Every structure is written in structure tokens, then in C-alpha cells.
Chain A
Amino acid sequence: MSELCWTSMTELRRMIATKKVSPVEVVRAHLDRIAALDGKLKSYITVLADAALAAARAAEAAVTSGGTLGPLHGVPVGLKDLYCTKGVRTTGGSKILADWVPEEDATVVARLVGAGAIVLGKLNMHEFAYGPEGLNPHYGTPWNPWDAKTHRVCGGSSSGSGASVAAGICPGALGSDTGGSIRIPASLCGLSGIKPTYGRVSRAGVLPLAWSMDHVGPMCRSAADCALMLAPMAGYDPRDPTTSVLPVADYAAALTGQLKGLRVGILRSFFLEGAGPAQRAAVEAAAKALAGQGASMEDVDLKSINLAPAASHAVLAPEAYAYHEAWLKTRASEYGADVRERLRVGAFVTGAEYVKGQRLRTLLKNEVDAALAKLDVLLAPTTPIEATAVGQDEVRIGDQSLPVRASLIRFTRPFNLTGHPAASVPCGFTAEGLPMGLQIIGRPFDEATVLRVADAYQRLTDWHTRRPAATA
């Protein structure tokens, strides 16, 4: 298999711009690998081979003619299949939208393509993004590349994004995150991913799960690649009135490797104390590594954090129901059983309960803001568990047996409620060889610091450079 498929986006861009490699060669290498591996991985719903090769030839011509090259010129990307793509079906991982062809691109798709990226295809996902395991009864459940023998979940809902980037059949992908759907698959697949601040990246043209909790962001094999991919995506968009007019930082310039003087809070109760022993040890070791470079550490507790599950239920369930209401009345049988049931629950949340959930969000946001008034970032495990087998419903954490689904979203969804930026980077492997994630939470619109810490940690460790044995 071509080494090009394991080359970083940053390096691919450099090699293309300096004519060390042609975009056509890069795209062909990825398409060949998709053909070889994706029958089992099931990470793509639609592969755009012809369009990608045509775009690659145009990108090659631009290099040859000495034209201006965008920051992602000739670099392939994958799109979770809830991003609208003009003329290309956008399924949302569903049967209901199996043949839906949008008439325009989502803003972030247009911006990535405008920056020179080449779209390889549309990636598999939990149906309508409503599930943290990444299951899909319609297109097949993606296979976690870190276990060739047991079919394990990739985490969701951006499971195809997780599987494809981890298996080297896509160097970077778009995910979306309503309760952890970028960070959970990043954690379970050994990737780097960032959920930016709510309002930093446009949601226009992205199929919603819950409008007030949906976030758009990149999933790559390093924090540096996330910075490269996020830059052209971020910024105000008149098509999404929730986007901010605040200027976008220079994320690449923020990657200084410097940690001296950084003030770090470790989220201990609920988060670290609620994680499995391997995850707890990995995050403690990561904190120690950062402290060794001059960062100061202190424990932080969020008083109202136990309210997050109730608040999330009160807000997410009725918003999701509202979007799906008409289909639930006329096409209910076309949903997968788990998503249909989850959506119907939203019909029974009252208006007063929804407002109560929104008031709880204010409480939680104020507490995270207060913690970050004296600290630069917060650390927590991304998930309390590693990837479980497909079909496994319960998992043991300490002496407790807990539902897999609730466990997967436990540490991520608080920051969908508060809107703070949060990244996940690999911080170790379990004894079974499964990846674990470190979550880094920052101040609103301070993605630069989150990415700086993530990148500095990756300069100290090699977790993010490891490859799944079955696909190496």
C-alpha cells in the first residue's frame, strides 16, 4: 500500500506545491486503498472516484501553470454524509434520504473545495447522526480498524469519518458533533478531532440533529492537520445566523509547541473518577507530560455537571423530534429501530421541560466559563471506555455495569450544551490495543489554544502516529 495514504495533510500539501507528487497520484492511491479495504470497513456510502480524479487533474494543471494554490490544494478529504453536496446524493445515513440530491453545497464544503481540497466521497454515519456508536442498518456498520477480528464500533455518529481516516483511506474528514460525534470516534479510532466553539463554523447546508447543539469540525490524524483543515472552514457565514463575526485566529501560527506557563485544569469528579482505569491512567500520564513542559495543573470540579444528561435530554430530544416529525408520521418504518425509538421520545418532552433544559445550559456554561477565567484549558478523558463490540449494550466501569450508549456520550455532551471548543487526541492504548482519547476544552473562540496544547502534546508522544496493524 502506498505510503502516500499515511502522509499528513500538511505534508501532502507541501509535496504537491513543490511538485514532489501529483494530486492525481495522491487521489489514485486513496481510491486504490478504498477499493482494497472498504468492502469490509464500510466507511464510505458514496465514492466519487471520477469527480475526484477530474478535480485532481485540474489541481495538477494549476500547479504546472504556476497558479495560486489554496491551503488544501490537491489534498483529499471525506465528508460525513450529512453535508449537502450539489449534484451528489446526501443520505444522512438514512433510507429516507437515500436518493436525495441537494442543489447546493454546504458552506463548509464550498469553503474546503475553494481552499483546494478534493472530495473523495461521502462517509457513513449513525442514521441521521442520532447515536454515539456509529451503527447503520442501511449501509452497514463501519468496522473499527483497530481490531481486525472483532467487529467493534468506531464511535459515532461520525463513524465512517473515524474508520476512513484511521485506516488511511482518507487523510482528513468532516464530522459533526451534537453530543460527541466528532470526539467519540476520534477517541475510539485513535484520531485527532476538534469540535469548535458553537458559532465558529457554519452549519448551513448540514442536516441538523439538534440545531442549538450541532457543531461542525474536522477529524484528522494530527492536531496540526486539524488546524490546517479548520482554518478555511471557520468564520462568519450569512447563511447561518448563529455564526460569529469574531475574527478567525491563525491556527497554524498558534502551533508553537510551547506549554510553559499554561494553566491546566483537570476535571476530576464525574470525568476522571467516572472513567475506566486505563482511561484514567492515560489522562493522568498526559497531564504529567504537559506538566513536564512547564504547564501548571490543578483539579477542577463543575458543581452542576450531574445535570448535563437531563439538560441534554430536554434540549436535544425535542429539537430532533421537531425536525423529523413529519417523517415519523408518514415514513416511520423506514428508520432503523434504535433511531426511530430515540426520535419518538422527543414527542413527550413538554415546552416547560425544554426551557428548563435551556436554563440548565446557562448554569453549566457559567460554571465552565468561571473555571476557564483562571485556567487556559481543561482536561478530561474523551470517553470512559474503549471501542465495544457491535451489539454489546452494557459495559463494566469499575464495579458497575453501565449502558454503552450513555457511557460513550457522558464526558463529551456537556460541551455541546455549553458550546465551548473541545478536541480529542489519542493518549494511549488499552492492553487489547484499542485507542483512548484525551479531551482538551478551551475558552469560547479560543480554538488556537486548544490546538496548541493538542499539537504540543503530540510533539511529546507518538500515539497519533501509530497505525492499525490490519491496515498498515
Chain B
Amino acid sequence: MEKLTVDALRTQAKAQGLELSDAELAALLPLVEAGRNGLAAIRDIPPETEPASQFRIF
């Protein structure tokens, strides 16, 4: 996985309409990185496992 940078984070934030200062982005970087790495490390979910979210029409 490509290493996350403050610049990359700024681009993503701007795309969502969030204007964050360099200091704010720097503070967020390790938190976003930790979450992303934690999820990326999980690879062995059985393919038949469906999401817990449900759509019910009745």
C-alpha cells in the first residue's frame, strides 16, 4: 500500500469539502494511517461472509 502523506490527505480532504490546516492534517495522519493499516492487514475473510448491514423492504 502506498504510504500516506499530508499532501495526499489534503487532496482527499479537499475533495470532500474539508479545508484543514497543515497542523490539523499532520495530527490526523497517524490516526488515518493506523486505521487504514489495521484494515489492510486483514486478508483472510472467508469469501462467503456477507456484510452485517441488511436491506429489508418489509
Binding site for B on A (CB under 8 A): 212, 307, 309-310, 313-314, 317, 328-329, 341-342, 344-345, 347-349, 353, 355-363, 365, 417
Contact between B51 and A341, CB atoms less than 8 A apart: no
Taking chain A's interface residues, is the majority helix, strand, or loop, or is none over half, making it mixed?
A: helix
Contact between A362 and B42, CB atoms less than 8 A apart: no
**Shortest Cβ gap from B28 to chain A (Å):** 6
- Give per-residue flags for B22-58: 1 if the beta carbon is below 8 A from chain A beta carbons, else 0: 0010011001100110110110011001111100000
Across the two chains, which residue of chain A brings its CB closest to B13?
A: A347
Contact between B35 and A313, CB atoms less than 8 A apart: yes
Roughly how many angstroms separate A358 CA and B52 CA in the complex, as a whole number?
5
Q: Which residue of the partner chain, among A309, A310, A329, A345, contacts B17 with CB atoms under 8 Å?
A: A329
Which residues from A are CB-within-8-Å of B24?
341, 344
Contact between A344 and B35, CB atoms less than 8 A apart: no
Contact between B28 and A345, CB atoms less than 8 A apart: yes
Contact between B42 and A361, CB atoms less than 8 A apart: no
B12 interface residue per 8 A CB criterion: yes
Contact between B28 and A310, CB atoms less than 8 A apart: no
Given contacts A313-B38, A314-B39, A345-B32, contact A358 B20 (CB under 8 A): no
Q: Which residue of the partner chain, among B17, B20, B28, B39, contacts A356 with CB atoms under 8 Å?
A: B39
Which residues from B are CB-within-8-Å of A362?
49-52
Which residues from B are CB-within-8-Å of A310?
35, 38-39, 41-42
Which residues from B are CB-within-8-Å of A365?
52
B9 interface residue per 8 A CB criterion: yes
Binding site for A on B (CB under 8 A): 9, 12-13, 16-18, 20, 24, 27-28, 31-32, 35-36, 38-39, 41-42, 45-46, 49-53
Contact between A353 and B39, CB atoms less than 8 A apart: yes
A-B contact count (CB 8 A): 71
Roughly how many angstroms separate A358 CA and B54 CA in the complex, as a whole number?
10
Contact between A344 and B39, CB atoms less than 8 A apart: no
Which residues from A are CB-within-8-Å of B31?
341-342, 345
Contact between A313 and B52, CB atoms less than 8 A apart: no
Roughly how many angstroms separate A342 CA and B39 CA in the complex, as a whole number?
17
Contact between A347 and B16, CB atoms less than 8 A apart: yes
Roughly how many angstroms separate A355 CA and B45 CA in the complex, as a whole number?
12
Roughly how many angstroms separate A446 CA and B12 CA in the complex, as a whole number?
44
New contact pairs (20) apart from A310-B35, A358-B52, A362-B52, CB-CB < 8 Å: A313-B38, A314-B35, A314-B39, A329-B17, A341-B28, A341-B31, A342-B31, A345-B32, A347-B18, A348-B32, A349-B35, A353-B39, A356-B45, A359-B49, A360-B42, A361-B52, A362-B49, A362-B51, A365-B52, A417-B52
